[in-house]
Amino acid sequence: MSTDHAPVPRVANRYGAPKPQRAASGPRRWLIWAVLAVAVVATGIFSLFAGTPEVSSKDVGFRIDGPAMARVDYEVTKDPAATAQCAVQVLNESYAVVGWTVVTIPPAGVETDGDGRTTSHSTMVRTESEGVTGGVNACWLVD
Which pLDDT belongs to residue 108?
78
Domain over 56-142 is classified CATH 2.60.40: yes
Which pLDDT belongs to residue 92?
95
Identify the three-state secondary structure at position 66. Answer: coil
Which pLDDT belongs to residue 17?
77
d(CA 25, CA 2): 55
> Where is pLDDT greater, at 117 or 92?
92
d(CA 52, CA 56): 10
The per-residue pLDDT for range 56-93, each reduced to its tens digit, is 999 999 999 999 999 999 999 998 889 999 999 999 99
Q: pTM score, two decimals?
A: 0.62
d(CA 139, CA 119): 13
Which pLDDT belongs to residue 89?
97
CA distances (Å), origin 3, targets 8, 9, 10? 14, 17, 20
Phi then psi dihedrals of residue 118, to 5 deg: -110, 125
CB 106 within 8 A of CB 141: no
Which pLDDT belongs to residue 104?
96
Domain boundaries, the chain: 24-53, 56-142
**Distance from chain centroid for Cα 58:** 15
